Amino acid sequence: MSVFADGYWWSPDGLRLHYRDYAGGSDGRPPLLCLPGLTRNSRDFEPLAERLGGHWRLICPDMRGRGESAQAKDPMTYVPLTYLQDISRLLSDLAITRFVAIGTSLGGLITMLIAATHREWLAGAVLNDVGPTLEEVGLARIRAYVGVGQSHPSWVHAARALEDTNRDIYPAYGLEQWLAMAKRLYRLSNGGRVVLDYDMRIAEPLRVAGGEGGVDMWPAMASFRDIPTLILRGERSDILGVETTERMVREIGAGAALATVPGVGHAPVLGEPEAASAIDQLLARVLHG
């Protein structure tokens, strides 16, 4: 298992937030800033860190309300613009001014905001199964489960619950993969139950108009021009449509690469061979131009 150090920083509104810092990249290569999806946390990037840790430095934050980061006092701060402010403070504290952003779902929306506001920070970018247009069928599925508390007596029960609700997304998974996902998504409560590792109130902004993003992200695509950018799409994705990916490639231009991860939906976990190969190619472009 790749070794990491736990780090902490303070958000602009006074929350103590957590990140994992995997050492690597002592030859001057930029760090990888790994930004997780809506209900996920820093553990979501364990498959990537297992493969790249030691060669690249990986910084994997728990966004506010997730993992070891504090919960927000106001649930309406669970929105991308606030996450951007939190991440900007982390980068400032670590004196990082250039990095490769790897954003899954919500993390990809944050990456788009970084491109729109501080494109000079980006040495490269991975947009994992997310785009400026999100498919309504996928959004409806997410709204149905986000913020619904779950409690299980064992890790196997949690894994089976994940399988029940996600087998269409990862149809080839067996119990071992479901258990690994459960360990990333759940935690053990003080009462010995296995519970979801996020503040249930992250669902509240989704219930208001524009809560999924609130900003038209299409203009941000131009900000990725001349920046090595990988668009990853799960073949079975109900969030990122084929037409959206094709338009993203056109808007970004020559710097864009598109890879489809077969047999999975929203979102690839980045350990799949096709995802790993595409990320390796992107990082080679970052290093060698």
Q: What is the pLDDT along the chain (289 residues), one digit of tens a residue?
A: 579 999 999 999 999 999 999 999 778 899 999 999 999 999 999 999 999 999 999 999 999 999 999 999 999 999 999 999 999 999 999 999 999 999 999 999 999 999 999 999 999 999 999 999 999 999 999 988 898 888 999 999 999 999 999 999 999 999 999 999 999 999 999 999 999 999 999 999 987 755 444 578 999 999 999 999 999 999 999 999 999 999 999 999 999 999 999 999 999 999 999 999 999 999 999 998 7
Domains and CATH numbers, the chain: 4-147+209-288 (3.40.50.1820)
Q: What are phi and psi of 75, to 5 degrees?
A: -65, -20
Which DSSP symbol is given to 79?
Answer: S
CA distance 190 to 250: 50
Q: Are the C-beta atoms of residues 232 and 280 closer than 8 Å to each other?
A: no
Token pair 């979501």: residue: 44
Residue 56 DSSP one-character state: B
Distance CA 155, CA 190 (A): 15
The amino acid occupying position 272 is E
Query: What is the reported pLDDT for 26?
Result: 72
Query: How far, in Å, CA of 50 to CA of 122, rounded?
Result: 23
Q: For position 214, what pLDDT does the model report?
A: 58
- Write the CA distances from 125 to 99, 186, 224, integer angstroms: 9, 28, 8
**What is the DSSP secondary structure assignment for residue 29, as one 8-state letter?**
P
pLDDT of residue 211: 44
Give residue 1's pLDDT. Answer: 58
Q: Write down the pLDDT at residue 289.
A: 74
**Per-residue model confidence (pLDDT) at position 215:** 74
As a whole number of angstroms, the distance between CA 176 and CA 184 comes to: 13
